[in-house]
Amino acid sequence: MEAESGANGTAVTEFILLGLVDTPGFLPLVFVLFLFAYLLTVGGNLSILAAILVEPKLHTPMYFFLGNLSLLDIGCITVTVPSMLSRLLSHKRAVPYGACLTQVFFFHQLAGVDCFLLTAMAYDRFLAICRPLTYSTRMSQMVQKILVAVSWACAFTNALTHTVAISTLNFCGPNVINHFYCDLPQLFQLSCSSTQLNELLLFGLGILMAGAPVVLIVTSYIHVAAAVLRIRSVEGRKKAFSTCGSHLTVVGIFYGTGIFSYMRLGSVEASDKDKGIGVLNTVISPMLNPLIYSLRNPDVQGALRKVLMGKRAPA
């Protein structure tokens, strides 16, 4: 790695990731648990994708977005867990400077798309429940594709900005990261140069990437709740709320862990808690999403049964 010859004067060519546990005796258990979690997440999300493809009932905008969310979940866990498993197998904790920054880029790219995709799903529920007469035109296939494309473009800009900004920092002293993947708050703590601009960028772009979507999601659901409460029949209300419950659960887990991770910059003592939040962010959340959607939705359950039994729905 040629990091030491760069214009920014970086001397560190690699970082040492301490991982989740210090005790060697626990490493095999950690490996097995995370390998199982990875296979379960990939398998679960691929099952949701297969269910959406084989079940005509699920060929709707909501499930188009859910299919994209499943792909993102696979990507999100793949960015962090396989590299951690390979380090556990090889007993090498060193990560090259370039690989660390690449991981930061892809992690923030995928998490950014997640933010906007969850917002698009809230907007879809708002149109379906509050504007049913114009739903098909306002949420056409073209609109769905535009929303996904804009999500990727905004997330790419955000991830690239952070990656370029952190590449301008000097890393000349300690290179030990008390975490199992590279992320911005941990790298800020190791920089020899001022991280004030980077922290301002993380805060400012965080408001745009997470704050604005949260406001839009909450606004959408306030309108949805008001519309549902106007429905006379209990059965009708229950059906309307059930389509929103899964999405709200996923939103709560995603934003709850994300806000906790990035709103406590500079807290060295909190590094062990950060590892726990990192596991929630990158492993538990992607693993739970297919479970949340399949448990709460009979249509998804039926489609999953068709997938598992090898039956295709009639065209």
Give the pLDDT confidence score for residue 201 in this predicted structure.
92
* The pLDDT of residue 6 is above 50: no
Reported as a single tens digit per residue, the pLDDT across 297-314 is: 777 888 888 877 766 544
pLDDT for res 151: 95
Digit-coded pLDDT (tens) for 64-92: 999 999 999 999 999 999 999 999 998 88
Domain locations in the chain?
18-309
230-272 pLDDT, tens digit per residue, is 877 787 777 777 768 778 888 888 887 777 666 655 454 555 6
For residue 283, which amino acid is it? V
Checking if the pLDDT of 149 tops 60, the result is: yes
Name the CATH architecture for the domain at 18-309: Up-down Bundle (1.20)
Note every long-range contact of 296-304, with CB atoms under 8 Å and residues 24 or more positions apart, other chains counting. 296/242, 296/245, 296/246, 296/249, 297/242, 297/246, 299/55, 299/57, 299/58, 300/48, 300/51, 300/55, 300/58, 302/55, 302/57, 303/51, 303/52, 303/54, 303/55, 303/57, 303/58, 304/47, 304/48, 304/51
Distance of alpha carbon 285 from alpha carbon 248, whole angstroms: 13
